[in-house]
Amino acid sequence: GAVVSQHPSWVICKSGTSVKIECRSLDFQATTMFWYRQFPKQSLMLMATSNEGSKATYEQGVEKDKFLINHASLTLSTLTVTSAHPEDSSFYICSAQWINIQYFGAGTRLSVL
C-alpha cells in the first residue's frame, strides 16, 4: 500500500509562535494532498487541498493567512500554523491520494500554551 509520513507527531509551542507540519508521500508521487483538522471524538474536517506547484484551495471559514500551505514537490506538502493561539490546539492530519484512495499520515497533535 501507499505510505504517508507526517512529522512531527506531537508539538507544544508558545502562543504567538509558528509551527510547521510536514506531510510526505514515501513511495508514490502525489499531485494532490489534503489537510484535515479533527477535534476530540469528532469527524475529520477538511481544511484545504494542496496542489503541487500551485496555490492551495481552502475550505470556507479557514483562514489562509493563519494556515499556510506549501506543496513544493510531488512528495511533500507543509502546513504552517502562523502566530498560533490556544484555540489552534487540535489534531491535524494530512492525506495524499494514490489511485483513487486517500492515504493518511499519523497526524500531529498541536498544543499551544
Partner 1 sequence: AQKITQTQPGMFVQEKEAVTLDCTYDTSDPSYGLFWYKQPSSGEMIFLIYQGSYDQQNATEGRYSLNFQKARKSANLVISASQLGDSAMYFCAMREFNDYKLSFGAGTTVTVRA
What is the contact surface with partner 1 in residues (CB under 8 A)? Answer: 1, 32, 34, 41-44, 46, 49, 91, 93, 95, 97, 100-107, 109
The CB-of-26 to partner 1 minimum distance in angstroms stands at 14
- Kindly tell me which of 75 and 108 has the beta carbon lying closer to partner 1: 108
Residues 20/80, Cβ–Cβ less than 8 Å = yes
Measured between alpha carbons, how far is residue 100 from residues 40, 94, 97, 110, 111 in Å? Answer: 28, 16, 6, 29, 33
* C-alpha of 26 from chain center: 16
Residue 97 CB, nearest approach to partner 1 (Å): 8
* Distance in Å, CB of 30 to partner 1, minimum: 12
Which residue lies nearer to partner 1 by CB, 80 or 97? 97
Closest to partner 1 by CB, 39 vs 72, is 39
Q: Is the Cβ of residue 28 or residue 104 nearer to partner 1 in the bound state?
A: 104
Residues 6+ apart with CB under 8 A from 92: 21, 35, 36, 37, 38, 47, 79, 81, 107, 108, 110
